[in-house]
């Protein structure tokens, strides 16, 4: 039988914890026990737990289940997708119903029946696994670095509000994942977040995609169609790569945000919209404002709260814990035996500059898990690419052709390979870009 992922158990009875360690060992890949819920928020950050078994009473002589309900609310606030099974010595059906209404997956009464407890936990863990595979992204991993913990505190403070948020950071740092975490912690989490890749929108489709259109507005408009603003009603609208939006279209976006309404293409009737806006970019928007490439008034509008994700190389203490998470995830995904990283492999990962950040680390671990033959991942299975040359290491171009090659390469890197965005930044058509890339072998 293939083991499930890690389980977290919180109970103030150490004998119970010891018994559960033995009982659950054949079922879960890792069992972590806490004798007190005080450290529960910190523990939730350490791993992508499959299920939490939470006792309902911790105060000596206090047996009303209030402690368990309080910590249940805290868990659902911090990790909305984590299934929680409540554990109590008192068969109070009313309390059980109340706990389930507040988000618990199920309820187990002490003294427990071993098989029933296992069935309850595996059922809860299985339900969240199916949900995550079908519609959810992996939970945000905050890590233990001071910079990420400060970012977490700020994110948790602003998430419940409707303030517009701008997320910045290098490619691969997890900007979209942070946006999803903010949405999950908001009052709009019951509705799905709507995402738009601004770099992939062509000018001709911008208004139709964001604002929608009415039947007959243009040749292929055979029916009324709502845009992303309306689709995100009472939810979150995430505009990724906002820095790639052409200057001429920025005024139209600003108008919609200021008026809190949109007008479908082909219509004259404004439609009110209720959205929470989150934007993200890897570009320096204040610098773009100074260069006349981004509207200052739009920047103020989207930048009520600014969250900067630090690159992985500036928080090296998070590299190995992240790698272990990916090893566990891809081991389950590809049906491989539970694997570990050798000390030498961990050191190799720490020393790599990770210019592609978490995305690069994730891809490196996936490859290693696939090609590894043993249960221990050694340095030899990590096919790490040499870092791309920086401006300081690239020799100066001596011909116009060399200058063009370097410019295209830098823009491809800056835009993460988004060819529409690359063409827009270079001021050429996509076809011209394709021709040049083919000519230079890029």
Q: Of 92, 43, 42, 32, which is closest to residue 68 (Cα–Cα)?
A: 92
The class of domain 314-381 in CATH terms is mainly alpha
Share of the chain above pLDDT 90, in %: 45
Q: What pLDDT does residue 402 have? A: 79
∠ CA 299-300-301, nearest 5°, is 90
CA distance 179 to 183: 6
Q: Could you read off the pLDDT of 76-100 as tens digits, one per residue?
A: 887 877 899 988 766 555 666 677 8
Q: What is the pLDDT of residue 345?
A: 94
Q: Rounded mean pLDDT of the chain?
A: 85
Quick: pLDDT tens for 327-359: 988 888 888 777 889 999 999 999 999 999 999
| Cα 363 to Cα 353: distance, rounded to the nearest angstrom | 15
**Architecture of the domain made up of 146-308:** 3-Layer(aba) Sandwich (3.40)
In terms of pLDDT, which residue wins out, 318 or 403?
318
Q: What is the pLDDT of residue 21?
A: 94
Q: What is the rounded distance in angstroms from the CA atom of residue 184 to the CA atom of residue 401?
A: 49
Which residue do the tokens 């199916």 mark?
Answer: 130
Tokens coding 433: 């870009």
Give the tokens for residue 407: 């410019």
Q: Tens digits of per-residue pLDDT, 183-211?
A: 988 989 888 899 999 878 888 888 889 99
pLDDT average, residue stretch 412-439: 76
The confidence score (pLDDT) of residue 110 equals: 83
Topology match between the domains 7-134 and 146-308: yes
Which pTM value belongs to this model? 0.62
Per domain, the residue ranges of the chain are 7-134, 146-308, 314-381, 400-440
Highest mean pLDDT among 132-141, 205-214, 412-421: 205-214
What does the pLDDT average to over 214-242? 89
Tokens for 254?
A: 């600003």
- Per-residue pLDDT for 409 more than 50? yes
Distance separating alpha carbons of residues 411 and 424, to the nearest angstrom = 10
Torsion of CA 275, 278, 281, 283, to 10 degrees: 90
Fold classification of 7-134 is Rossmann fold (3.40.50)
Q: Is domain 400-440 given the CATH code 1.10.10 in the classification?
A: yes
Closest CA to 82 of 113, 56, 45: 45
Question: Does residue 129 carry a pLDDT above 80?
Answer: no
Q: How many residues does the chain have?
A: 442
Q: How confident is the model at residue 258 (pLDDT cuts 50, 70, 90)?
A: very high
- Does the pLDDT of residue 48 top 80, yes or no? no
Render pLDDT for 158-190 as a digit per residue (tens, 0 to 9): 999 999 999 999 999 999 999 999 998 898 988
């Amino acid at each position: 039988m293939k083991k499930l992922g890690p389980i977290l158990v919180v109970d103030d009875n150490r004998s119970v914890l010891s018994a559960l360690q033995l009982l659950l060992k054949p079922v879960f890949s890792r069992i972590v026990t806490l004798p007190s819920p005080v450290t529960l928020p910190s523990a939730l950050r350490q791993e992508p737990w499959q299920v939490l078994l939470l006792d309902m009473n911790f105060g000596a002589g206090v047996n009303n289940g209030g402690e368990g309900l309080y910590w249940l609310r805290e868990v659902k606030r911090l990790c909305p997708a984590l299934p929680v099974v409540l554990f109590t010595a008192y068969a109070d059906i009313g309390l059980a119903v109340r706990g389930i209404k507040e988000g618990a997956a199920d309820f187990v009464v002490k003294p427990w029946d071993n098989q029933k407890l296992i069935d309850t936990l595996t059922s809860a863990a299985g339900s969240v696994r199916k949900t995550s595979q079908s519609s959810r992204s992996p939970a945000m991993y905050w890590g233990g670095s001071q910079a990420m913990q400060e970012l977490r505190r700020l994110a948790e403070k602003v998430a419940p509000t409707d303030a517009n948020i701008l997320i910045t950071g290098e490619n691969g740092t997890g900007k979209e994942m942070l946006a999803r975490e903010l949405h999950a912690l908001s009052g709009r989490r019951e509705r799905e977040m709507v995402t738009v890749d601004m770099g992939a929108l062509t000018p001709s489709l911008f208004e139709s995609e964001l604002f929608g259109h009415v039947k007959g507005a243009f040749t292929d408009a055979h029916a009324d169609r709502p845009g992303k603003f309306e689709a995100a009603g009472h939810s979150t609208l995430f505009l990724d790569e906002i820095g790639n939006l052409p200057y001429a279209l920025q005024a139209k976006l600003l108008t919609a945000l200021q008026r809190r309404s949109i007008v479908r293409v082909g219509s004259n009737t404004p439609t009110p919209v209720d959205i929470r806006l989150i934007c993200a970019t890897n570009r320096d928007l204040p610098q773009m404002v100074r260069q006349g490439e981004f509207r200052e008034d739009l920047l103020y509008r989207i930048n009520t709260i600014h969250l900067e994700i630090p690159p992985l190389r500036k928080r090296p203490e998070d590299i190995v814990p992240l790698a272990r998470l990916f090893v566990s995830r891809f081991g389950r995904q590809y049906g491989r035996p539970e694997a570990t990283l050798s000390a030498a492999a961990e050191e190799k990962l720490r020393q790599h500059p990770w210019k592609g950040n978490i995305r690069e680390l994730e891809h490196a671990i996936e490859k290693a898990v696939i090609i590894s033959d043993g249960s221990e991942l050694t340095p030899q299975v990590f096919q790490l690419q040499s870092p791309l040359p920086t401006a300081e290491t690239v020799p100066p171009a001596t011909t116009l052709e060399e200058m063009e090659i370097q410019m295209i390469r830098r823009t491809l890197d800056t835009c993460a390979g988004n060819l529409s965005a690359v063409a827009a930044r270079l001021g050429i058509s996509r076809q011209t870009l394709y021709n040049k890339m083919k000519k230079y072998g890029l």
